[in-house]
Structure 1
Amino acid sequence: MAMLPYWDAHWQSFCELSGHPELLTDKRFSNMRVRLKNIDEAYRITGLLTAEKTRDEWLSLLQDSNVPHMPVSTLDELIDDPQLVGSDFWQNFEHPTEGSIRMTGSPFGFSKTPASLRYAPPHLGEHTGEVLRQAGLSDVDIDAMITAGVATTSGSSSR
C-alpha cells in the first residue's frame, strides 16, 4: 500500500492509529519541518511500523482517517483487476516463437487512428547491431563488444 503521513495532522493520525503515540513527542518528528530534516529516519520508522500490519489491516485503520493512502496491487492481482480487464488493458498477442502472450494494450485511445499491437516484443539482443550502429559504432566495434561479452545478440544477425 502507499501512505503519506506528510502534514502534521497526518503524522499525528498515523502515530495514533499505528499504536505509537510516543512518536508525537519525539523531537526528531515534532513538526513537518523537523521531520523533513530527519526524513531518512522518519521513513525508516514509518516503514517499520507499516510492516507490523497487513495491507488490509492498514486500509481498514486508515479508511476514515485524514492520512493519504491507497492500496497497491500485487502483480498477481493486476492480472484479473476488474478495471484493467474491463478497459481491455490486457491484449493477447500471438508471438511467432513464444506462442500466445498477454501484453498491455495502448494507454491511449484515438478514434481515427486506433492503436494496436503490431510487432512482437523483441528477443534479448535482437536489435543490438542496429541500435549500436545508430549510436555511431562501426561493425568492427560492435563485433568486438559482442566477442567481449559486453553486448549480445539473440542469435539472429547483429547487422
Structure 2
Amino acid sequence: MVDPEVTERISVRRAELDDLEEHLVKQLAEVRAERDDLAAAERVLTRMGEQIAAERAVTAPTVAQVGGKGVLLIPHRAPEVTETVLPPEYQRILAAVRDAGGPVTVRQVGEAIGLDTGVRGKLEPLRGKLTKLADRGWLHKRPDGRFAVRP
C-alpha cells in the first residue's frame, strides 16, 4: 500500500510543476512575440537604410577621376533633389540666372557673379557650366543661346 503522505507530496509537486509549466509557456509566448517584433523592426530599418542610401546616391555630388584629378559631377535635377547638392559655384550661377528674372547671356551671368567679362577665356568655362546645368535640367538653354531658370 502507498503511503498517503507520499501521495500528497507527489500531488503537491505535480501542481507546482503544472503552475511552472503554465508560467513558462506564457513566458515563451512573450519571448517569441518580442523576437517577431524585433525581426519586423530589423526589416523596416534595413529597408529604410537602403532607401536612404539610394536617395543619397542620387542627390550627393559625385566625384570622378579625370586625368588623376577629382572632378565634381553635377546631379540631374529631380523633385526630391534641391540645389544645395550643387557645388557652391554652381549655386551662385543658378542664383544669378534666377535673379536676372528672364533669359540671360553668358556675359550677363559672368558680370553678375563678378567675372572679368572682357576676357573671352573667362567666359568659356562659365558657358560650359551653364550648359552642364542645362543638360542636367537645372536651367533651360534657349535656341538663341541664352539661359533661363526651369520652373
Instruction: Please say which structure displays the higher CA radius of gyration.
Output: 2
Question: What TM-score do the two structures reach when normalised by structure 1?
Answer: 0.17
Question: What TM-score do the two structures reach when normalised by structure 2?
Answer: 0.18
If each structure's helix is expressed as a fraction of its own residues, which one has the higher value?
Answer: 2
